[in-house]
Amino acid sequence: MESGFGVQRRAGGGSPAVGASQRRRKMPPRAADFKLQVIIIGSRGVGKTSLMERFTDDTFCEACKSTVGVDFKIKTVELRGKKIRLQIWDTAGQERFNSITSAYYRGAKGIVLVYDITKQETFDDLPKWMKMIDKYASEDAELLLVGNKLDCESDRAISRQQAERFASRISGMRFCEASAKDNFNVDEIFLKLVDDILSKMPLEVPSKELSNSVLSLQPEPEIPPELSPPRMRCC
């Protein structure tokens, strides 16, 4: 019976479902057209890890451990007809790790700057994070300001207008509010950022040159050697 299926498949007959699964097995996954790095920064406890994990794994942790140094996750997305391998760097919000995290700004094509809409001090810290961006990030990196914990509307300390005003003073900075807990606007954050990055890139390059552009977008090593192992969490 098994070999019968095989004959049917080779002859192009049999059930379409079997044929499709056979085709799936034979076809190697299409390689990514581009690799992009995005970095998430912001003060301690604003929800950087939670936003990343909601986007990459669709999970939410009520009692997360604070990030030490940096962590990262990878997710492949398809936009504008291109397959993008997105590497998301989640940085520690604690100032004592700035010397480590600053090493990751340079390679980022997009920066997500997060504050907590219920915590005034995390909004007051934004100029400090902008200084880090000015000092360490590439000038053409896309910037997105995110007010997280929108599910805590009753505890809101920062109005939407305040944050919009802040973002409008910074050239090219977008702004949105989100909730990692309620999974509100999370996909939108990352997909919009990638779309903005792609909109500035020459996507229609001849296929021979495409592999070169992949390399030029993704300097090696992907993980700075001084940060091995990359996953470090503490409480």
Ligand X SMILES: Nc1nc2c(ncn2[C@@H]2O[C@H](COP(=O)(O)OP(=O)(O)OP(=O)(O)O)[C@@H](O)[C@H]2O)c(=O)[nH]1
Footprint of ligand X (CB under 6 A): 44-50, 61-64, 66-67, 92-93, 148-149, 151-152, 179-181
Task: Output the smallest distance, CB 187 to ligand X, in A.
Answer: 14
CB 170 within 8 A of CB 130: yes
What minimum distance in Å lies between the beta carbon of 51 and ligand X? Answer: 7
Least distance in angstroms from the C-beta of 178 to ligand X? 7
Spatial distance between the Cα atoms of 129 and 25, rounded to a whole number of angstroms: 47
Instruction: Indicate the residue among 108 and 180 with the shorter CB distance to ligand X.
Output: 180
Q: Return the number of the residue (40 or 194) whose C-beta is nearest ligand X.
A: 40
Q: In what order do the strands lie in the sheet with 174-177?
A: 70-79, 82-91, 34-42, 110-116, 142-148, 174-177
In angstroms, give the least distance from the CB of 117 to ligand X.
Answer: 9
Q: Nearest distance from residue 186's CB to ligand X, in Å?
A: 9
The whole-angstrom separation of Cα 108 and Cα 170 is 18
Shortest CB 120 distance to ligand X, Å: 16
Can you tell me the distance from the alpha carbon of 194 to that of 142, in angstroms, rounded to the nearest whole number?
A: 9
What does the alpha-carbon distance between residue 136 and residue 105 come to, in Å, rounded to a whole number? 6
| Comparison of 78 and 121: residue with beta carbon closer to ligand X | 121
- By beta-carbon proximity to ligand X, the closer residue of 37 and 50 is 50
The token pair at 39 is 């970095």
CB of 234 to ligand X, least distance (A): 9
Of the pair 109, 119, the CB lying nearest ligand X is at: 119
Distance CA 39, CA 69 (A): 13
- As a whole number of angstroms, the distance between CA 112 and CA 144 comes to 5
Parallel, antiparallel, or unpaired: how do β-strands 66-67 and 233-234 relate?
A: antiparallel
In angstroms, rounded to a whole number, what is the distance separating the alpha carbons of residues 173 and 167? Answer: 6
Residue, CB closest to ligand X:
93
**Number of C-beta neighbours around residue 56 at 10 A:** 17
**151 vs 222 by CB, closer to ligand X:** 151
Q: 59: exposed, middle or buried (C-beta count within 10 Å: 0-12, 13-18, 19+)? A: exposed
Residue nearer to ligand X on the CB measure, 112 or 197: 112
